[in-house]
Amino acid sequence: MFTKLTEQLTEQYTTAMKTFSNTEQVETAMKPLNSLVELNTKTIEQLISQQTALITSILNDSIAQTKALSTETDFTAAVESQKSFNEALQAKVSDSAKEAYAVVTKTSEEVTTLVKDSVKFDK
């Protein structure tokens, strides 16, 4: 089944490529795909950067919290310190999720625009 599908797709691709008579036509035809790849690459880089910053921050904050708790002698103060740490951590993760959602939403909008600009529907 997959072999037949692959053969059909290969045949369609080969037929499509034969219709291009020069390099300029190929470049024009591939421009939307190249733009999509660039957009996805940029988005992935942004998300990786955001997640790296989040994880680094969480690790640094956790180390600082562990050091602070290791010197704390008052149980109530230690519990309050941990409670504050957990609330700050929750806010940080929530903010990061909102930032990631914003990046993905923006990318989705850009992809929609790219597709609309690339595909012309004749009515």
- In DSSP notation, 4-58 reads HHHHHHHHHHHHHHHT--SHHHHHHHHHHHHHHHHHHHHHHHHHHHHHHHHHHHH
Classify 73 as helix, strand or coil. Answer: coil
pLDDT value, residue 73 = 93
Instruction: Please check whether residue 20 lies inside any domain of the structure.
Output: no
Instruction: Please check whether residue 64 lies inside any domain of the structure.
Output: yes
pLDDT mean for each 10 residues of the chain (123 residues): 62 68 68 82 94 97 96 94 97 97 94 79 42
Q: Cα–Cα distance between 62 and 86 in angstroms, integer?
A: 10
Instruction: Please check whether residue 80 lies inside any domain of the structure.
Output: yes
73 near 86, Cβ under 8 Å?
no
Instruction: Please check whether residue 12 lies inside any domain of the structure.
Output: no
Domain that holds residue 71: 42-115
Buried b (16+ CB within 10 A) or exposed e, 64-73: ebeeeeeeee
pTM of this prediction?
0.69
Q: Cα–Cα distance between 67 and 4 in angstroms, integer?
A: 62
Instruction: Please check whether residue 28 lies inside any domain of the structure.
Output: no
Instruction: Please check whether residue 21 lies inside any domain of the structure.
Output: no
Give the total number of structural domains in the chain: 1
